[in-house]
Amino acid sequence: MSFLHGRTRMLALDLGIKEMGYALLDDEILIRYGVKNFKKKVKKETVPGVDLIRTYKPRVLILGKLSHSYRKGNPMLKRGTNKIKRFAIKQRIRVHEIEPASAIKSLMKDGKPTKFNAAAHITALYPELTAYLPQKGRILWTSKDLYWMNMFDALTLALAYLRKRKRGEHTTMHL
């Protein structure tokens, strides 16, 4: 069921080359979160993210826009994002794409709009995520820090969508 006591179920995905961060929310309530690893050899018929859509049956899918030149020019990311969007549309799920940099800015009204500050803001809202936050003051993040930032990026997209929806600014990309 897509609703839990009248709430809208949302799945936010942050696709990357090696991992994909995801967050499942019923409005502001965080239900599930994590990072999904991609195997070295992904079968052509296997699309990362589609299994999450099948499992959690969201009403809204939120994706990070492929606007940065590194992400935009990557054919694997383009193909994966397009397949996920097409699958979601076939399932009659509303699809929204949000620019990751603007998602961070919308989340961080005060202070510098950095990934770390956005993640720290998220841990203030969801204290159970504090263990995944990189140590403050560390100049170089470890691979573990980078791994969990995928999840924080997905949550940033979801919270930016919620803010836009509350202000009435959201636009549905697809039915």
CATH number, domain containing residue 129: 3.30.420.10
User: 16 in a domain, yes or no?
Assistant: yes
d(CA 149, CA 134): 8
User: 154 in a domain, yes or no?
Assistant: yes
Return the DSSP state at 155: H
For residue 100, give its domain range: 3-167
User: 172 in a domain, yes or no?
Assistant: no
User: 175 in a domain, yes or no?
Assistant: no
User: 134 in a domain, yes or no?
Assistant: yes
Q: What is the pTM of this model?
A: 0.86
18-30 pLDDT tens trace: 899 999 999 999 9
User: 174 in a domain, yes or no?
Assistant: no
Number of domains in the chain: 1
d(CA 124, CA 39): 33
In this structure, the number of other CB atoms found within 10 A of the CB of residue 134 comes to 19
Q: How confident is the model at residue 17 (pLDDT cuts 50, 70, 90)?
A: confident
